[in-house]
């Protein structure tokens, strides 16, 4: 099965703010970014569409797939940054507990939130379920953290290296789920 994963478009949040699972609005550039994603997906057919329940993903999914039955799944939300949500990264970086997370974001949980390994595991549980479906091609509208988790699970990227690859807003990535099922 092919999995076409789409990151939501830009958000209306000032640069440097940690927003993770906070339900933030889309930026004013949404219309142009939507058209770019539509062009990228043109001519493709999907057996199923999955989506993070956060508004920034829901809006994009409903505009991309207006006639599809979109399946919203909590496992596809961004990393939970806990008490750091909607705080400035500069402020967060000065907190004593933040240094532990910066030193080992893979294993260490944010204050009141998740580790990257937690996010990878929820993505894995989603993929295990998806892999049982008889689809040829599925679409997913989600977040940058989930796309990085997919790279770890499907492209053998080491979790510690997951953030070395930039994931753009509105980016569309194609994954082969056969590589996942072959390793199970």
For domain 2-179, give the CATH number: 3.40.50.1240
| pLDDT for residue 96 | 86
| pLDDT for residue 144 | 98
| pLDDT for residue 74 | 98
Task: Give tens-digit pLDDT for 144-175.
Answer: 999 999 999 999 999 999 999 999 999 999 99
Q: How far is CA 80 from CA 26, 45, 109, 123, 167, in A?
A: 19, 32, 9, 13, 18
| pLDDT for residue 182 | 54
Ranges of the chain whose pLDDT falls below 50: none
| Strand-by-strand arrangement of the 48-51 sheet | 70-72, 48-51, 137-142, 2-7, 172-176
Contact 110, 166 (CB under 8 A): no
CA distance 25 to 29: 12
CA distance 69 to 128: 21
The two three-digit tokens of residue 93, written as one number? 């970086």
Q: Which residues pair with 141 in a beta bridge?
A: 6, 51
77-103 exposure pattern, b = at least 16 Cβ within 10 A, e = fewer:
bbbbbbebbeeeeeebeeeeebeebee
Q: How far is CA 2 from CA 31, 32, 165, in A?
A: 27, 26, 21
């Amino acid at each position: 099965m092919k999995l076409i994963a789409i990151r939501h478009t830009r958000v209306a949040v000032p640069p440097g703010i940690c927003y993770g699972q906070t339900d933030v609005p889309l930026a004013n550039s949404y219309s142009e970014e939507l058209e770019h994603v539509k062009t990228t997906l043109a001519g493709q057919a999907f057996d199923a569409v999955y989506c993070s329940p956060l508004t920034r993903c829901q809006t994009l999914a409903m505009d991309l797939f207006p006639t599809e039955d979109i399946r919203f799944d909590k496992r596809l939300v961004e990393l939970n940054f806990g008490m750091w949500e909607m705080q400035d990264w500069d402020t967060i970086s000065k907190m004593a507990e933040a240094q532990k997370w910066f030193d080992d974001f893979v294993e260490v949980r944010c204050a009141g939130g998740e580790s990257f390994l937690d996010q990878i595991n929820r993505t894995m549980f989603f993929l295990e379920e998806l892999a049982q479906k008889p689809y040829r091609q599925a679409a997913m509208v989600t977040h940058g953290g989930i796309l990085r988790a997919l790279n770890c699970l499907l492209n053998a990227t080491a979790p510690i290296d997951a953030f070395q690859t930039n994931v753009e807003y509105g980016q569309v990535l194609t994954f082969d789920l056969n590589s996942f099922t072959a390793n199970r």
